Structure 1
Amino acid sequence: MSGKPTVPAPRAASAPYGPCVLLKHGEVFLKGHNRHRFVERLHDNLRVALRGVGGSTWIKSAQNVTVLGGQVPQEALVERARRVIGFNSVEPAIRVPSTLEEINRAAVEALRAVSADRPGRGFAVRVKRRDKQFPLTSSRMAAQVGARVLEEVTGLHVDLTRPDVLLTIEIDRKETYLSWTRHPGVTGLPVGSSGRALVLLSGGYDSPVAAHRAMRRGLACEFVHFSGAPYTNPSSVYKAYALARELNRYQPPGRLHVIALGKAQKQLAVVGAGRLQVVAQRRLMVRTASALAARTGAQALVTGDSLGQVASQTLANLVAVDEASDLPILRPLIGWEKQEIIDEARSLGTADISILPDEDCCQLLAPPRASTRAGLPHLRAVEKRLDLDEVTEALLDHIQVMLPGEEDGTVPAAPASCTAPAPV
């Protein structure tokens, strides 16, 4: 799971003064004696996100903060860092020596630029001393810097209650960081710190949001997509590839496994699944995914199920599906409403892909009225008419494996055609 930067990070002591990025830790801050393991995982994921950024980079640890810099435009560092799950905030900053004169000079220059861009704004200064040997207390230092800014910068006024610009100064023993812009990070646990999972990825809104929620709880995710091939066109595969590529922006890239389910679905229909068809094929999916997970090292399955949203997601049917899996099935969206899921998909950037038309395998051979209370005895009776082990092995023997997003660090444009991507 760990990656390496394009150029090995130099020792922190040799990192130059100047622009950098402060990355404030999220839940990692709450960890106890094993906190260092979570921080190491966080930094490994950050290095992976920095691949191909276009220059050398360095990473430095401070108290509950990671400092990122390098010979790369600050905006590019911010953009890459905002993808990494586990940081509470991402703050462009200036790094200067911890002397009164250097701190004052940097504060004046920063707020002069702010005033030139938009005069008449209110500002405040907040100081945090990590180095308690610094000669001024935090409150005295904030007052001193504020007075220096008022003296040398025109077009600003003090507003301690609701400032337009909040200049934050964090003083360490050798260096000080000044920041005045704060971007929200993707909070949660570092991807990979909680283990590995296999996501059943469809082309809809739900499963990509569930995958992202699983990542935020520290799960490194691979994906499996069941298509209706050979009875459907490849549009759903294209969508699954684009969705997995978008999701891989937030983690070291996970593979996409594509399984053609169409013939197995037809077998279920031929042996008389009837109103149980949808639940029976869902059981076949999780049975196959569970076997695939054993091959890939995943410890759980993740689905986008929301309780009662559709006929296959009633409590009785979810229980019936769970029984077919050897692994726990995690459902991060179990209590979410549909609109909540759609709103989250829009914020992630997956919604524009999910709305594209496709031929969903779940609709293939679906009965006019699906059972909402599929009983296990009836399902087992249908499945006994097939050799499920043989069916599962046949499905696994013809998997297409892809690695979306590994070829570059960009996000794909919304697919305009239904041509399936080539396997890797």
Structure 2
Amino acid sequence: MKWEKILVRYGELSTKGKNRKAFITHLRNNIKFSFVDLPNVKITAERDRMFLSSKEDAEIDELIKRLPKIFGIQSFSPVASCTQELEDIKETAIKIIDSLDYEDKTFKVTVKRTDKRFPLDTYELQREVANHVLRQFTTLKVQMKKPEIELRIEVLSDAVYMMAQVIPGAGGMPLGSNGRSLLMLSGGIDSPVAGYMLLKRGVRLDAIHFHSPPFTSERSKEKVMDLANQLSHFGATVRLHVIPFTAIQQSIQAQIPDNVSMTTTRRMMLKIADLVREEIGALGIVTGESLGQVASQTLESLTAINAVSTTPIFRPLISFDKLEIIDIARSIGTYETSILPYEDCCTIFTPSCPKTKPKLEKVEYYESFKDFDELIKEAVENREVFSFPSKKKNEFENLL
């Protein structure tokens, strides 16, 4: 089936008032970014919808394939066009239905007759097209309320436009419309899902990862880099800040009692994340914590950890159970990477009996015997920064 263009519906953006134009501009820019490799795509933004077009069939197919990952889109429909000749309209309707899974489906035709000079009125055109389609596809059944297939026809002065598919979009808000935050990306199942959920609300992300060689391997770092790259596929560049954390973890093991060492580890991580956040101009910190899932995620533990920062900390998974999180991870494509068996710094020094209800005053007392500030400063200064998606290297670059 040859499609002329794609109609994009905004969904939640349609509820915006005077600032709607700013949200639409963000969406338009995100689509440009996501399809920079498709040079012939043209974008036409209107108040309540957007059209994407290309003269290349392959580019239209690629748009249909990749648009479901763009946040801010409620749904979209491939649109075909034809002349105002009745036989041409009927033939195009047949081609559209034939491209769908139509067996034993319910069906109706709706018509919007913008060009009032068109010789048939709305109901006459509905009858003509519906009768023609039903004669060709005998298993279709007419249903006027909520049919499975709704063939929509819009008669304009220059052409007739027709569509029948409504493909769900990612929903949410366009990336960049709600600022930037820093995602604490561990390499497990939860944190990439938390990042995805903030991206869906229009928040651009940097990510931070704590790497403790030689206790954690290069493969574990590569795994996190892969996850950051996968998150970038949702329409925005993701910078990954890799923090050298070995010296701090060794100091914690030497100084802090075993049963509260994980609480102190998380507090040091949050202190470092806060410094990086401030440096990059992010407004919040994002974690994949789920209430009660592990010892460091009880209310008492979270209270003790939070005490080192006044920055807003977003925990979009706080009320989710593990199976719900796994389902989302599978749907966004991060699950298989997350379960690769490479250790992270939180697992290598896990105490056998961690405190689930640590007392803040005791944790602060134990930490007072060691000055962590200089180690934290060095870790921030010596971090590595990677950007995703990675820019492709010129194959002749090394020859110059």
Residue correspondence of structure 1 range 255-294 to structure 2 within 5 A: 255-294=239-278
AA at the equivalent of 2:13: V
Distance 1:315 1:171, change over 3 A: farther
Counterpart selection for 2:368 from 384, 399, 413: 384
> Which segment drifts farther, 206-215 or 263-272?
263-272
Distance 1:247 1:266, change over 3 A: same
TM-score (normalised: structure 1): 0.84
Contact kept, 8 Å, 1:125 with 1:169, in 2: the verdict is no
Contact kept, 8 Å, 1:195 with 1:299, in 2: the verdict is yes
Residue correspondence of structure 1 range 254-403 to structure 2 within 5 A: 254-403=238-387
Instruction: Flag structure 2 segments of 5+ consecutive residues without an equivalent.
Output: 393-400
Contact kept, 8 Å, 2:248 with 2:375, in 1: the verdict is yes
1:131 CA drift (Å) = 3.9
The percent identity for this pair of structures is: 30
Find the residue that maps to 1:185 and give its secondary structure: strand
Corresponding residue of 2:15: 30
Distance 1:285 1:126, change over 3 A: farther
Contact kept, 8 Å, 1:49 with 1:83, in 2: the verdict is no
Residue correspondence of structure 1 range 184-263 to structure 2 within 5 A: 184-263=168-247
Find the residue that maps to 2:170 and give its secondary structure: coil
Corresponding residue of 1:418: none
1:269 CA drift (Å) = 1.4
Residue deviations 1:262-303, cap 9 Å, x none? 220111111123211111111111110111011111100000
Distance 1:113 1:84, change over 3 A: closer
Count of residues paired in the alignment = 387
Distance 1:226 1:158, change over 3 A: same
Counterpart selection for 2:152 from 168, 172, 180: 168
1:18 CA drift (Å) = 5.3
Contact kept, 8 Å, 2:113 with 2:121, in 1: the verdict is no
Distance in 1 (CA, whole Å) between partners of 2:185 and 2:113 is 45
Instruction: Flag structure 1 segments of 5+ consecutive residues without an equivalent.
Output: 1-16, 409-424
Distance in 2 (CA, whole Å) between partners of 1:368 and 1:393 is 30
Corresponding residue of 1:3: none
Distance in 1 (CA, whole Å) between partners of 2:173 and 2:100 is 37
Contact kept, 8 Å, 1:261 with 1:395, in 2: the verdict is yes
> Which segment drifts farther, 278-287 or 383-392?
383-392
Distance 1:42 1:19, change over 3 A: same
Contact kept, 8 Å, 1:271 with 1:385, in 2: the verdict is yes
AA at the equivalent of 1:29: S
Contact kept, 8 Å, 1:69 with 1:77, in 2: the verdict is no
Distance 1:367 1:385, change over 3 A: same
1:145 CA drift (Å) = 2.7
Distance in 2 (CA, whole Å) between partners of 1:398 and 1:141 is 70
1:22 CA drift (Å) = 1.5
1:93 CA drift (Å) = 1.6
Distance in 2 (CA, whole Å) between partners of 1:125 and 1:269 is 69
Corresponding residue of 1:88: 74
